[in-house]
Amino acid sequence: MAETIKLVDVTKCDGCRACMVSCKNWNDLPSEMEDFHGSYQSHEKITANTWNVLTFNEQERKDGGLDWLFRHSSCLHCTEAACEKACPENAISHTEFGSVVVDYDTCVGCGYCVQACSFDAINLATYIDKNGKEFRKAQKCTQCTDRLEEGLQPACATACHTGAIVYGDKDELLSSAEDRLAQIKERYPNANIYNPQGISGTNTVYILADKPTTYGLPENPKVALSQIVWKDYAQPIGKMMLGATTMAVIGSFIATNLNKKNHSSEGDQSHE
């Protein structure tokens, strides 16, 4: 299967927020009331029950004009995902569509992924089980993997009426992004394609009208070295040690038992 991505062209966005609502509608997420923060933005940031937030950013131009910059912000589905590396339970994994999803059965709600994420896109939701006990699970945008499996588009891309969010073939969309970038360069000199290579690209690629930092995106996100060491080296070695120890214990137990048998049945014929 050809690789697919979600392309978000912020210059086409008119800030209607249908992506936010359609996400809640498809994923049956409860609404979250927030106080007025002094801007048009409805929610301050992504939360466990608000998987995508349309950010409104007022930016003064050098010529005295104003740029009102919108961005559909949600999980970027990094190719090298820090959350996946941070997860001690291997509850976070990549799907065949390149989306990063949380296995809610395995997740223990430790919150390591929340700290690891460079984009603040994953959060812990608190639930109450049938005994009244609180438990937590990591929640974030799934890129509507359940819809993708059925051949549908993500809910946000379906709802978007300006075509700012499109989902489709990776190569096709990336080349169309280059064309679009050439078109908007005159209006937005700082425009760029945000597909950070430090994490081998993301499955949500942005065409930004200004520098990533203006949109609150890290210039060059990376998976922390400590996490790589932990997940790719320390953890497997630790498991191996655990395995080796278990093997040694069981092995020696059996060997001792056999020896004992030897002693009892064959008298003192065998000595160590």
Partner 1 sequence: MEFTRRQFLKLSGAVAATLAVVELGFDDKGARAKTREFKIAELKPTPTICPYCAVGCGILVYSKGDDVVYTEGDPDHPINEGSLCSKGTTVRQVYTSEKRITKPMYRAPGSDKWKEVDWDFALEKVAKNIKETRDRTFIHKEKGLTVNRTDSIAYLGGAALDNEECHLLQKLFRAGLGLTYIEHQARI
Other beta carbons less than 10 A from residue 107's beta carbon: 20
Contact 102, 91 (CB under 8 A): yes
Contact track, partner 1, 155-194, x by CB under 8 A: x--xxxx---------------------------------
Degrees to nearest 5, angle at CA 109 with 80 and 127: 130
Kindly state the smallest distance separating residue 105's Cβ from partner 1, in Å: 7
Q: Say how far apart CA 68 and CA 123 lie, in whole Å.
A: 28
- Report DSSP letters for 226-252, one per residue: HHHIIIIIIHHHHHHHHHHHHHHHHHH
Q: Which of residues 218-257 bind partner 1 (CB under 8 A)?
A: 236, 239, 242-243, 246-247, 250-251, 254-255
Binders in 37-56 for partner 1, by CB under 8 A: none
Nearest CA-CA partner of 42 in 61, 56, 25: 56
Q: Is 216 known as a binding-site position?
A: no
Alpha helices by DSSP H, listed for 134-169, are 145-149, 155-159
CB of 28 to partner 1, least distance (A): 8
Identify the DSSP state of 26: H
Single-letter amino acid, residue 230: W
Per CB under 8 A, residues contacting partner 1 are: 16-18, 20-22, 25-26, 28, 90, 93-95, 101, 103, 105, 142, 145-147, 149-150, 155, 158-161, 236, 239, 242-243, 246-247, 250-251, 254-255, 258-259, 262, 270, 272
Cite the annotated binding site for [4Fe-4S] cluster by residue number: 13, 16, 19, 23, 75, 78, 83, 87, 107, 110, 113, 117, 141, 144, 156, 160
Cite the annotated binding site by residue number: 13, 16, 19, 23, 75, 78, 83, 87, 107, 110, 113, 117, 141, 144, 156, 160
